[in-house]
A and B are shown apart, each in its own frame.
Chain A
Amino acid sequence: MAAKSIISRPVYGTLSPQPGKHHLFIADAEGALAISDMAARAPAGFFEGAEIVYIPDPGGKHVAALEALKPAQFHQAPSFASLLPRLKQTLSNAHMGLRLYLAGTEGLIGQAMQVALEAGIDHTSMQTEHRGSLARRMQCVHCKGITENVTTQPAICAHCGLLLLVRDHYSRRLAAFQGVCINAEDRSEMPPIEEAFP
């Protein structure tokens, strides 16, 4: 569970079954466990109106557990990028009454939320639950490049190579934490790089 800090730092909850007939779940890796846990509290027949889109770890752990919930649709994808066209299509055809549940890593939750925001769902209307890695999606504020799966503090921008302080300052629009050059005054100053977001 991520620690609370500044106000823009996302805070995640625990998935809970919402009223309605259509439920869209997007999860990666250990996010599957959040869905399984919620299923134990869901009313009978809940998953008959549910679609689960899942990005498993290599090895396909938890896939069988999700299939066992017997959702109306179950779709596996190798990466977020590969499920994006399908997600956009689903949301553009959806009606009010569709409820969205996002579970797993912050990168997955943030990117799915970004697409859902564009489709007109308020971020406070989405159910979220963080599970698994604390790795961050980071935007370099200098070159604007996005670096995925940042686990260290500071971190090197994969685009321009600057050494960046990974801030808690988060952008929902970009689905990324902000990375700011940590040694702008003296580039020879090299603070130790430590594992901060395992």
Chain B
Amino acid sequence: MSTGTTKLDVVVSDVVPVNELVTRFHFRRRDGELLPTFSGGAHVVVEMRDGDRTRLNPYSLMGSPLDTREYTISVRRDDVGRGGSLFMHRSVKAGLEMVISYPVNLFSLDLRAKKHLMLAGGIGITPFMAQTAQLAGEGGNFELHYTCRTASLGTYADLLRERYDRRIRLYHDDLDERIELDRLLSTQPLGTHLYVCGPAGMINWVRDRAASLGWPPEAVHFEHFAAPQPGLPFDVTLAVSGKTIRVGEQQSLLEAIEAAGVDPPYLCRGGVCGQCETNVISYDGKFIHNDHWLSEEDHRSGWKIMPCVSRFEGKSLVLER
């Protein structure tokens, strides 16, 4: 059993279309009990049994942490992705029995903060749904700046405005509305913590500006919504289990290892938590590192790989698995 991936047997209690791209899924425990407590920013890994293929995709819990009768996630349909979101949209209906992991939080609030400044882009809004609910319940000081492509794709924007009024600022790309980031970051009271979730470009931009403007890294929190990138198929030898496997074009290395019956530890499946870090025994070729966990030095060394998001191109790769 992988760390933190104890399973929950759930049933889909509701499926709610939110807009043309996003659908919300509600889960309850099959035994009718309460679900485990979680904190804002936590995610669960949803097991998708799609024929002979199993996908394990992480999704942020977006319901209030104060209500554990059900868990809710929102899934944005990605027509050119690896198929997980399409499976959720097409095949998951109310009444379906599914298996999800216990919640894990790699994007938690720092409750010592005097103020929480949240920046969301697109579907990156989901962890903030839970975090704002948690903070509002405790009388916490927060403000949320939410960038979306158009008003109709501003998932939950209306709900957030209704709940929190002027603590929510909306920016619409189609109206050319942009966050004045430098001004925003320069006018926050001491003790503010910054949280950003959205596309990689947005996260990099915000982290870069925050660092330049003197924000210490301890006060800057971010969560990448990075699905594993597809790529050319490649072969891998697993030295410990004595298996040779092929990683398919749409498959991650971690998924290929699991499909071969080997059960490495994992938590986030997005290259940030470090759980699936794997030693390289030998290689002849080039690594395509896509993680945010290993240091640049680790990436250059050729000694380690994060199989959840990173790939390989070349003649041979032998891993300590």
Contacts and interface: CB of A to CB of B under 8 A. Distances in A.
A105 to B, nearest CB: 24
A97 B213 contact: yes
A98 B190 contact: yes
B214 A99 contact: yes
Interface string A105-133: 00000000000000111101100000000
Contacts of B112: 120, 122
Contacts of B188: 95-96
| Most A Cβ at <10 Å: residue of B189, B212, B214, B218 | B214
B191 interface: yes
Contacts of B190: 91-92, 94-96, 98, 119-121
B114 interface: yes
A19 B215 CA distance: 8
B74 interface: no
A138 B319 CA distance: 53
A20 B315 CA distance: 47
A152 interface: no
A147 B204 CA distance: 48
A22 interface: yes
A113 to B, nearest CB: 14
A119 B114 CA distance: 8
A21 interface: yes
A22 B187 CA distance: 13
B219 A122 contact: yes
Contact of B214 (A21, A92, A122): A21
B218 to A, nearest CB: 4
B206 to A, nearest CB: 13
A96 B218 contact: no
A18 interface: yes
A125 B193 CA distance: 12
A97 B186 contact: yes
A96 B219 contact: yes
A140 B211 CA distance: 41
B187 A95 contact: yes
B262 to A, nearest CB: 37
A9 B86 CA distance: 54
A19 to B, nearest CB: 5
Nearest to B216: A125
26 contacts: A18-B214, A20-B214, A21-B213, A21-B214, A94-B189, A94-B190, A95-B188, A95-B190, A96-B189, A96-B191, A96-B215, A97-B185, A97-B186, A97-B213, A97-B214, A98-B190, A98-B214, A119-B190, A120-B112, A120-B113, A121-B191, A121-B216, A124-B218, A125-B217, A125-B218, A125-B219
